[in-house]
Amino acid sequence: MKKIKILILAAILLAQIIDLSACTIFTSSSAKNVFAGNNEDMCTTSTVIHIKPPKDGKYGQILWGFENDENYQGGMNEHGLFFDGAGTPPVEMTKEWNLPAYDGDYVLQGALENCKTVDEALNFIKNYKMPYLKYCHILLADASGDAALIEWGNNQLNFIRKGDKNYLIATNFNTTEASTIDGHCYRYDIAKEILSKGKPSLENYEKVLSLAHQEGNFCTVYSTICDLKKGKVYLYNFHDFSNSHTFDLKAEFEKGEQIRMLRSYFSPSFAEQSFRMRNDCISGINRIPYRKVTFNLISEKQTPFDSLIIRGSSVELGRWNRTGITLAKKQANKFSKEIQLKKGALMDYEFSSINQDYYPIDKNGIRIREITVEIKSDTVINIHVSDWKLRKK
């Protein structure tokens, strides 16, 4: 039996910083349409899309989440069964859960592989222990309009249904233990206001996601809108709701299995690039592997100093502090430094003398300013400097 995987990335981070609000998930239905949507709020943009065609009796599905994380954050299968999870403050979980661990990647992924409806999914997952519900809850929806919120509260497993409402919403509070739902979360109230008055549509869902998105160090890194009846997913990157990428699952399955970085479906934006270089918490995610990066600076002329530093936006380079990282002098005019950086990190950097009184210039006499690089593999970076210029006092 495989080792149980009990924590999704969002739950781990939210357990550490539970005072931060994050993630908005919702579904609603009408006689003609059934939609589900979510904002994924996190401190890293290391996100992926995984498309798995039907195979060996398992239903085809599209999944989204974080690179190198053990479990995907959400997904939808070919029959319109959808799930996504949101972190919550920890709840009491002392009652014995005498059930086996799921023998697979993640029980919700197992539900997408084997189930068509919410009822089928609930009957599937209730056979396994889900200790991660201490830190999160999970919303399920299907193409018929049925939906359920799975959470642990009052020290038991709960399935919260839509009842007489046409919508179901999950943000970052445990609805079973909340004294009231209304007014408990501003993002919940935004979604409720729009979903209770309007029919499910791409436009209304974009409005909810846009009004509920977050910015700053812990921001909306991707969003999805799923048309559960038509088998389509509309993907949005880094809270930009003016641009989307559409997946038609039937057409995607014909291309075979695909795993791609989520950002690869979009043109680079300044906002995301700046976040990746200045705020992304990728350095703190243990599951993402390091890559060896060697910096070599070769100066054509004698350097007017004996020590050289490299400063940059990554944590490993000091987040642009003044001291930076000292390079070792290998030869008269060659300096080198080897450091470990996370795969997928995007950073900018520059060289200067230790006191920052000299800066490098190229063969045209132009100052060599910040250089940007994305770490994809072990990398050797060679910088050739024509001369050094004394900074004006």
Tokens encoding 92: 């009491």
CA distances to 24, 235, 287, 378 from 136, rounded to whole Å, are: 12, 23, 20, 36
The label of the residue with tokens 């830190």 reads 135
Is 70 exceeded by the pLDDT of residue 82? yes
Distance (Å, whole) CA 138 – CA 266: 28
- Read off the pLDDT of each residue in 168-182 and give the average, rounded to a whole number: 84
Third-level CATH fold of 9-282:
Penicillin V Acylase; Chain A (3.60.60)
Q: Which residue has the higher pLDDT, 22 or 231?
A: 231
Distance (Å, whole) CA 197 – CA 108: 31
331-340, pLDDT tens digit by residue?
888 999 999 9
182-218, pLDDT tens digit by residue?
667 899 999 999 999 999 999 999 999 999 999 999 9
Tokens encoding 189: 């109230």
Q: Which residue has the higher pLDDT, 228 or 15?
A: 228
Residues of the chain with CATH 2.60.40.10: 289-390
Tokens encoding 243: 């641009």
Return the DSSP state at 13. Answer: H
Distance between alpha carbon 113 and the CA centroid of its chain, in Å?
A: 23
Q: Which residue has the higher pLDDT, 4 or 146?
A: 146
How far apart are the two ends of the chain, measured CA to CA in Å? 68
Contact by Cβ (8 Å): 350, 322: no
Is 90 exceeded by the pLDDT of residue 135? yes
Is 60 exceeded by the pLDDT of residue 384? yes
pTM for the full model? Answer: 0.91
Distance (Å, whole) CA 102 – CA 99: 9
Is 90 exceeded by the pLDDT of residue 119? yes
Beta strand pairing call for 290-299 and 379-385: parallel
pLDDT mean across residues, the chain: 91
CA distances to 104, 105, 195, 303, 343 from 111, rounded to whole Å, are: 11, 11, 26, 64, 31
Return the DSSP state at 8. Answer: -
Is 80 exceeded by the pLDDT of residue 101? yes
The label of the residue with tokens 């839509």 reads 162
Buried residues in 236-264 as b, exposed as e (16+ CB within 10 A)? bbbbbbeebeebebeebbeeeeeeeebbe
Is 90 exceeded by the pLDDT of residue 69? no
Tokens encoding 249: 């699952």
Distance (Å, whole) CA 149 – CA 177: 13
**For a pLDDT cut of 90, what percent of the chain falls above it?**
84
Q: pLDDT value at position 1?
A: 30
Q: The domain 289-390: what is its CATH number?
A: 2.60.40.10
Residues of the chain with CATH 3.60.60.10: 9-282
14-23, pLDDT tens digit by residue?
434 444 457 9
Contact by Cβ (8 Å): 269, 242: no
The label of the residue with tokens 């977050």 reads 214
Confidence of residue 263 (pLDDT cuts 50, 70, 90): very high
Distance (Å, whole) CA 79 – CA 249: 10
